[in-house]
Amino acid sequence: MPPFFVDSSFYIAVLNRDDDFHQAATVLAVALDTEDARTVTSQAVVFEVLAYFSRAGAISRARAADLVDRIRSSPTTEFVQLTPELLDAALDLYRRRPDKRYSLADCLGMVICSERNITEVLTTDGDFEAAGFTILLKR
């Protein structure tokens, strides 16, 4: 099974019971735990998750921090650190697509996916679909 890239919206949906995609994300998270699925995520994704929960109270902050610990220590998740080369490639994509609303974190994810031939992304973010990737959480 090829790896999936995991974006912040997936992790947020797993943790946030009020998220429209919570149930679907939870089902996928359980399936990923029981299969030999490989995932890839980035340091920027973790920053987005922690930023999202930063004002949600102590319990949500603790749950988000625990999730980050699990991501970083998971034997089935590749946790991509930001490097100068990766940042340069993401900035290049960001500059080349002024017609899109891609965040820098999205551009980092797209570069990582392209470099690793990843086509499926665990996200609700339609920007990945606009960039040619298959998103796995849709309405």
Domains of the chain: 4-135 (3.40.50.1010)
Give the pair of three-digit tokens for residue 119. 């086509």
- Average pLDDT value for residue range 3-22: 96
Q: What is the pLDDT of residue 37?
A: 86
Surface-to-core class of residue 79, CB atoms within 10 Å of its CB (0-12 exposed, 13-18 middle, 19+ buried): middle
Q: What is the pLDDT of residue 32?
A: 83
Supply the pTM of this predicted model. 0.93
Across the chain, what does the average pLDDT equal? 94
**What are 24-74's pLDDT values in tens digits?**
999 999 888 776 789 999 999 999 999 999 999 999 999 999 999 999 999
Nearest C-alpha neighbor of 125 from the set 108, 115, 117: 108
Q: What is the pLDDT of residue 61?
A: 96
Least confident of 11-20, 29-38, 107-116: 29-38
Contact between residue 108 and residue 44 where contact means Cβ atoms under 8 Å apart:
yes
- Average pLDDT value for residue range 69-80: 94
Q: What is the pLDDT of residue 36?
A: 78
Q: Residue 78: in which H helix or E strand, if any? A: strand 77-80
Contact between residue 93 and residue 102 where contact means Cβ atoms under 8 Å apart:
yes
- Average pLDDT value for residue range 13-29: 95
Q: What is the pLDDT of residue 33?
A: 77
Cβ atoms < 10 Å from Cβ of 108: 24
CA separation for the pair 136, 127 (Å, rounded): 13
Residue 139 neighbours by CB under 8 Å, 6+ apart: 20
- Average pLDDT value for residue range 2-19: 95
